[in-house]
Amino acid sequence: MTKKKTAIVTGSTSGIGLAIAQTLAESGCNILLNGFGEKSEIEAIAECIRSDFGVDVLYSNADMSNPDEILTMVQECSTHFSTVDILVNNAGIQHTDSIEDFPKERWDQIIAINLSSNFHTIQAALPIMRAQNSGRIVNISSVHGQVASINKAAYVAAKHGVLGLTKVVALETAGTPITCNAICPGWVRTPLAQKQIDALAKREDIPEAEAIKRLLGEKQPSETFITTKQIGQAVMYLCSDAASEIRGSTIDINGGWLAQ
Ligand code: NAD
Query: Each residue of 222-255: pLDDT tens digit?
Result: 999 999 999 999 999 999 999 999 999 999 999 9
Ligand 1 cavity residues, CB under 6 Å: 11-17, 34-37, 63-65, 90-93, 113-114, 140, 142, 185, 187-188, 190-193
Confidence of residue 1 (pLDDT cuts 50, 70, 90): very low
Confidence of residue 2 (pLDDT cuts 50, 70, 90): low
Residues recognised as catalytic: 155
| Domains identified in the chain and CATH numbers | 6-186+227-254 (3.40.50.720), 187-225 (no CATH)
CA dihedral 46, 29, 118, 61 (to 10 degrees): 20
> If you average pLDDT over every residue of the chain, what do you get?
97
Pocket test for ligand 1, best of 16, 63, 229 (most atoms within 8 A of CB): 16
Global pTM reads: 0.98
Q: Whose CA is nearest to atom 7 of ligand 1?
A: 11
Eight-class DSSP state of 227: P
Pocket test for ligand 1, best of 190, 212, 254 (most atoms within 8 A of CB): 190
pLDDT > 70 in the chain, percent: 99
pLDDT digits (tens, 9 = 90+) for 69-97: 999 999 999 999 999 999 999 999 999 99
- The alpha carbon of 130 is separated from its chain's Cα centroid by a whole number of angstroms, namely 22
